[in-house]
Amino acid sequence: MSNEAHFKKSDEARIEALIQICKAHQGEYLEPHHGIGSWATTYSENFLDAAAEIIFLYGKSGHPWPLIGFSKLMMGHGIRSCRGKELNFDRAEYLYNTHLSRRVRALSTNTSSNEQ
């Protein structure tokens, strides 16, 4: 198995659009019920949805390590974590485990049921 992703043209275009969404919604996000100065930053729903779809597309492409591909993509585009740090593998793994795993599974389930 190759260590690279092999995206269809349509998936490449979709990833480019998702990168722009991640760029626009990267970094600190405070939920409306948290006051100014709160340390309880998280990720916006727009960022989470786009990030989940990118990871899903990496998996669909046959990439053996979708999270590594995702992390390298985010770092390559300068996209930051909710605390404004580099979105390295450790942060990407945390993001996946706490916010994205269910979303990626839902995308996989929806794709599988649409193909039947």
Q: What is the pLDDT of residue 110?
A: 82
Cα–Cα distance, 6 to 57 (Å, whole number): 10
Least confident of 1-5, 16-20, 76-80: 1-5
Q: What is the pLDDT of residue 48?
A: 94
Residue 66 lies in a domain: yes
Residue 44 has pLDDT above 80, yes or no: yes
Residue 46 has pLDDT above 70, yes or no: yes
Domain carrying residue 79: 9-109
Number of independent structural domains in the chain: 1
Residue 28 lies in a domain: yes
